[in-house]
Amino acid sequence: MYLPSLAIIGGLILLIWSADRFVDGATATARAFGMPQLLIGIVIIGFGTSAPEMIVSALSALNGNPGIALGNAYGSNITNIALILGLTALISPLAVNSQALKQELPMLIFITAISALLIYDNEVSRLDAFVLLFIFFIYMSWSIINGLKNKNDSLAREITEELAEQEEMSLKQALMWLLVGLVLLMTSSQLLVWGAVEFAHYFGVSDLVIGLTIVAVGTSLPELASSLAAAKKDQVDLAVGNIIGSNLFNTLAVVGIAGVISPMQIGPEVFNRDMLVMSALTVALLIFGLGFGRSKKAGKINRFEGLLFFVCYIVYNLYLFQTAV
């Protein structure tokens, strides 16, 4: 088990580092060509932070490991809300002020419901995958138009502040890091997938469980780092926005790309367990984020709610490993 364990650890470290370089290169390239900062935040950084999930799931589908592909997507969504937002809110309560985020939260519920309907038959067909990618295209178009209309929104201001802090680089440097980051993302993802499959086989657990846990946590580390950093700078809308955006990308683009590459037959536990947990956490995020039940309807994820998310994550993972053995 020495080599697979080393492959997982090394793959995760390289994956995180290369994803960061890829985002820096892509952001600087977009700036060099005059792309507005708000669009860079919505499109470039959105794709960049979800690149690990996309590439890992695509390679898993190509290698015939649909469990890792789907587990990575849904497991990352569960990790994003329960672990990352939970930990972030425990450190610093998250007030949701942005009107853009308050519009995206119901959108996330709607897209989660569509995703649940599509996998109800325990299959992600190519038609299902194309439907998800089509919805993703509509969502991205809506986000761009909505973002440009709300340039004074608190989320837009925080994105501008965050981009202003990034190091300037020449177009040549930007293209170099864009290419290096992409190549290393591919390499580290392949290393991680191989290690995860070997690890699963050795311990006799399914690819799905490994995808939902080890791989999902690993590919979500960029979101953890960015959310904690945003909360530390009091950019709370950006911290929540990172998670909402990532979950939308995972549900639509990550599953869609994997399904187009290789249609996936899945076990009933994906719908009855994982989709159910993901949907329940998403509904909780909507309730907390929009402030339902609060006197002033102020959206806020406080420390108690952060603790609830974190406890849910621990219980879910304990249940996974208890039933996997």
Whichever domain contains 68, its CATH number is 1.20.1420.30
Q: Is the pLDDT of residue 204 over 60?
A: yes
State the average pLDDT over residues 37-63. 78
Helix (H, G, I), strand (E, B) or coil at 123: strand
Which residue range is the domain that position 176 belongs to?
2-324
Q: What percent of the chain has pLDDT over 90?
A: 30
Where b means 16+ CB within 10 Å and e means fewer, 59-93 reads bbbeeebbbbbbbbbbbbbbbbbbbbbbbbbbebb
State the average pLDDT over residues 106-131. 94
Q: How confident is the model at residue 184 (pLDDT cuts 50, 70, 90)?
A: confident
Instruction: Work out how many domains the chain is built from and give that number.
Output: 1
**DSSP secondary structure letter of residue 262:** S
Give the model's pLDDT for residue 325: 54
pTM: 0.87
Q: Is the pLDDT of residue 79 over 70?
A: yes
State the average pLDDT over residues 304-325. 90
Please give the Cα distance from 215 to 199 (Å, whole number).
11
**DSSP secondary structure letter of residue 94:** E
Please give the Cα distance from 118 to 125 (Å, whole number).
9
Q: How confident is the model at residue 261 (pLDDT cuts 50, 70, 90)?
A: very high
Q: Is the pLDDT of residue 110 over 90?
A: yes
Looking at 204-254, list the stretches that DSSP marks H as alpha helix, in order from N- to C-terminal side. Answer: 207-210, 216-232, 236-249
Q: Could you give the maximum distance between any two Cα atoms of the chain, in Å?
A: 55
Please give the Cα distance from 110 to 114 (Å, whole number).
6
Instruction: Tell me, rounded to whole angstroms, the distance of Cα 30 from its chain centroid.
Output: 22
Sign of CA dihedral 147, 152, 154, 160: positive
Give the model's pLDDT for residue 120: 92
Burial class (CB in 10 A: 0-12, 13-18, 19+), 221: middle
State the average pLDDT over residues 105-113. 92
Give tens-digit pLDDT for 138-162.
988 887 787 677 666 666 666 666 6
Q: What integer best gives the mean pLDDT of the chain?
A: 84
